[in-house]
Amino acid sequence: MRHHWLLVGACGWMLLILMFASKFINFNLRAADDYVEKSEIQSWTVSGTKTIKSPSMQKSERQDEKPSDLTAEPSSADLSDWRSVEAKRLELLSAVCKNSTLRNLTHTSINKFVLDRIFVCDKHKILFCQTPKVGNTQWKKVLIVLNGVFSTVDEIPENLVHDHEKNGLPRLSSLSQVEITERLNTYFKFFIVRDPFERLISAFKDKFVKNPRFEPWYKHDIAPAIIRKYRKSHRDSDAAATGLRFEDFVRYLGDVPGRRRMDRQFGEHVIHWVTYAELCAPCDITYSVVGHHETLERDAPYILKAAGIERLVSYPTIPPGITRYNQTKVEHYFSDISKRDIRRLFARYQGDFGLFGYPSPDFLMN
């Protein structure tokens, strides 16, 4: 009888252990699912995204992925590899600049609009050209730290970064012509690019869908003007209810002669979808480095090294997958856009595709 009760007790303990283990396993699986879901949402809403994969593949990859350590100094072998990549980028840039058939899409005079885009760090002799929707906020933080107001990028308030009256970052346009020429000839100069169509999607989402910086003019001024001109059939009440659609945005961007008057009306706000050639004049200014958003985890530490500031400041940590090109998302956004409108859009941004080695989006146009 005693053995019988011992056996029953042992079985009871086993059941309790199994129940506890089951709950623990389920909890961890749910936590993992939540983490994957949040990462997926983040990757679709932050500038730069990752390719959509099956849940099982996502979980497997997430176990290995860690935030990129951008504080580690690159090894001499890695630095040599990066210099080789960067040299090829600059060679391609130079070759495309010499292509007479693309000249209208690649050459821009060094005018006030371009000089307004270039931020100056005199202390370390650096010029940074702003290309919106390509992670420029983080690079501006790097320059603010270099100017000595803050000791790390984490200390900088987000609202200060974009307040150009208070962030302590002078623009090249604020200097005399002699000072401008001297800096263009002697300073370390760089900017960052990403796939042109992904950048347009990011601009559309950021300014017309989410608008996290509370810039009401995009919704109340720019969007209605685009809808009135480019939506095939619209009513003012319908426009107010639905807001700007991506297809409206694409028609506007692809209408090169028709949008110019509107762009003058919109002013500085168009910089989020202006071409890289118009923003930074890469065929008319000799840049030291052109970084790519898709390889920013590797490019950022090497840019700091090339500029000689790697021991003074670190680029902010990049969450896994954020910078990865996402063709699935691009196909999703362009799924309802006519081939004609896509081809007209590509014709406008063809210079950007060519200058920086991005393959033409034939999967959308054919």
Q: Determine the pLDDT at residue 76.
A: 67
With b meaning 16 or more CB within 10 Å and e meaning fewer, what string describes 244-273?
bbbbbbbbbbbbeeebeebeeebeeebbbb
CA angle 324, 141, 320 (to 5 degrees): 25
Average pLDDT over residues 169-174: 95
CB 342 within 8 A of CB 327: no
Q: Determine the pLDDT at residue 58.
A: 39
How far apart (Å, rounded) are the C-alpha atoms in residues 294 and 193? 9
238: number of Cβ within 10 Å: 11
CA angle 71, 298, 63 (to 5 degrees): 80
Confidence band for 92, pLDDT divided at 50, 70 and 90 = very high
Confidence band for 74, pLDDT divided at 50, 70 and 90 = low
Closest CA to 247 of 340, 171, 314, 329: 340
Residue 13, pLDDT > 60, answer no
Q: Is 127 left (phi over 0), alpha (psi -120 to 50) or beta?
A: beta
- The half-sphere exposure of 251 on its side-chain side, counting CA atoms within 13 A, is 17
How far apart (Å, rounded) are the C-alpha atoms in residues 222 and 208? 9
CB 277 within 8 A of CB 106: yes
Q: Determine the pLDDT at residue 148.
A: 86
Average pLDDT over residues 319-323: 88
Does the CA dihedral 53-59-60-64 come out positive or negative? Answer: positive
**pLDDT digits over 116-148, tens only?**
999 999 999 999 999 999 989 999 999 999 988
CB 293 within 8 A of CB 323: yes
**pLDDT digits over 203-223, tens only?**
999 999 988 778 889 998 999
Strand order in the sheet with 118-121: 118-121, 126-129, 188-193, 289-292
Average pLDDT over residues 66-78: 58
**pLDDT digits over 22-39, tens only?**
433 333 333 322 222 233
Average pLDDT over residues 310-319: 91
Residue 225, pLDDT > 90, answer yes
Q: Determine the pLDDT at residue 163.
A: 84
Q: Determine the pLDDT at residue 53.
A: 38
Confidence band for 259, pLDDT divided at 50, 70 and 90 = confident
